[in-house]
Chains A and B, each alone.
Chain A
Amino acid sequence: MKKFLSLVASACVLLLANPVLAKEAVPLAEDPAVEARLVKISTELRCLVCQNESLAGSQAELAQDLRREVRDLIKQGNSDQQVKDFLVSRYGDFVLYRPQLKPSTWLLWGGPFVLLIVGLAVLVNYLRRRSRLIGDGEAPLSEAEKQRAEVLLKGDQV
């Protein structure tokens, strides 16, 4: 009897574990393609409530609403750029993590390169001046200095 019961129990376990009976995971989004584009666009956008989070990562209510808005815009057939343009038209350039290239942002984009060029110019100038100082003129040490240096070096060896 005991044996029979354990047999039934193991049969039940096997039956429950049958993968055919398991339900397939329900996809989180109706349309994975739309969702992929949503994620791609919203990681480049700033959540305005918690400014250091992207729209994709934020759980703020406004971020959820904006994601819904972006999803709708995608479904209506807007391109990624059109979606971004819509949000910029409402919230300004501030929503973009990657600022657009335009006259008011030239300094922002070009500034580091300008600084690099200035730094290189200063460095080249400095090196040239230094090599000129070392190159021309007499030997860096006078006769008396040389002798003194030798004495010191010898004294060190003893």
Chain B
Amino acid sequence: MNRFLWPLGIFIVLVGFLAVGLTLNPREVPSPLVGKPAPDFSVPQLHDESAKFSPREMAGKVWLLNVWASWCVSCREEHPILNEFAKTGVAPLVGLNYKDKREDGIRWLARFGDPYLLSAFDLDGRVGINYGVYGVPETYVIDKAGVIRFKQIGPVTPAVLQNKIIPLVQELNK
């Protein structure tokens, strides 16, 4: 009897592992940057070519960095949520316009609303690579010391905002 139960037991364990595997999202790559200082950069701003933006300017504040582009379809999906978030004033939101054309980016914000304090303009995607961006949109929560505390891959949903980002920002602001 035991002889036949063994393979059955192994089979059930295997099915268990596979079932858990099916619920995981292979697109979600955990970022090694969470808990590390946000990489520094200095790039022109989207609306003002002559003005630069560097994360150092945000030192002492808890802030959000949102990577977006006018060609990105899911960004359009998350944009109303960011617009609402900006109105609450919970934390400053900085945009990183990723691999976009300047006119397209400006037009896109004019059309769908601009929740950003400002948008940095990452024409060749180098800042994106430094932040481990591989799919737009991505959103980072950065604390007062400039350490990345949270990364959202893909659009920010109301649930993520209410359950993760806002409580985290409030805690970091304490």
A interface residue numbers (CB < 8 A to B): 48-49, 51, 61-62, 65-66, 69, 88-94
Q: Chain B residues in contact with chain A, CB under 8 A?
A: 26-27, 29-33, 99, 124-126, 128-132, 134-135
Given the known interface contacts A51-B26, A61-B99, the answer about A91 and B132 at a Cβ–Cβ threshold of 8 Å is yes
Instruction: Give every chain B residue within 8 A of A49 (Cβ-Cβ).
Output: 134-135
Residues on A with beta carbons closer than 8 Å to the beta carbon of B33? 89-90
In the assembled complex, the Cα of A61 lies from the Cα of B30 at a distance in Å of 21
Interface of B, secondary structure class, is: loop
A94 to B28, alpha carbons, bound, how many Å?
Answer: 10
Report how far A59 CA is from B132 CA in the complex, Å.
Answer: 18
Cβ–Cβ < 8 Å partners of B30 in chain A: 92, 94
Interchain CB contact under 8 A, B31 and A62: no
User: Residue of B at shortest CB range from A91?
Assistant: B132
What are 11 of the A-B contact pairs (CB < 8 Å)? A48-B134, A61-B99, A61-B125, A69-B126, A89-B33, A91-B29, A91-B132, A92-B29, A92-B31, A92-B32, A94-B29
Inter-chain CA distance A61–B135, complex, in Å, is 11
Q: How far is the CA of A48 from the CA of B125 in the complex (A)?
A: 15
Are A90 and B99 in contact, with the CB atoms below 8 A? no
Q: Are A48 and B130 in contact (CB under 8 A)?
A: no
Which chain A residue shows the least CB distance to B99? A61
- Please name all residues of chain A whose beta carbon is closer than 8 Å to the beta carbon of B129 when the two chains form the complex: 65-66, 69, 90
Report A-chain residues with C-beta under 8 Å of the C-beta of B32. 88-93
Distance to closest chain B CB from A45 (angstroms): 12
Q: A48 contacts which chain B residues (CB < 8 A)?
A: 29, 134-135
Q: Which residue of B lies closest to A49 (CB)?
A: B134
Q: Which residue of A lies closest to B134 (CB)?
A: A48
* B153 vs chain A, min Cβ distance (A): 10
Q: Chain A nearest CB: distance from B104 CB in Å?
A: 16
How distant is B100 from chain A, measured CB to nearest CB, in Å?
Answer: 12
Chain B residues contacting A69 (CB-CB under 8 Å) are 126, 129
Residues from chain A with a CB closer than 8 A to the CB of B31 are: 91-92
Known pairs A48-B29, A91-B134; list 7 more (Cβ under 8 Å).
A48-B135, A62-B134, A65-B99, A66-B129, A90-B32, A90-B33, A90-B130
Which of A48, A61, A66 lies at the interface centre, i.e. has the most chain B CB atoms within 10 A of its CB? A48
Bound: A49/B29 CA distance, A? 11
* A94 CB contacts on chain B under 8 angstroms: 29-30
- Assembly CA distance A136 to B125 (angstroms): 77
> Are B131 and A90 in contact (CB-based, < 8 A)?
yes
Task: For the complex, give the distance between the alpha carbons of A65 and B134 in Å.
Answer: 11
For residue A51, which residues in chain B have a CB less than 8 angstroms away from its CB?
Answer: 26-27
- Inter-chain CA distance A49–B135, complex, in Å, is 7
Complex Cα distance, B124 from A115, in Å, reads 48
The interface residues of chain A lying within 8 Å CB-to-CB of B128 are 65
Q: Output the least CB separation between B5 and chain A (Å).
A: 16
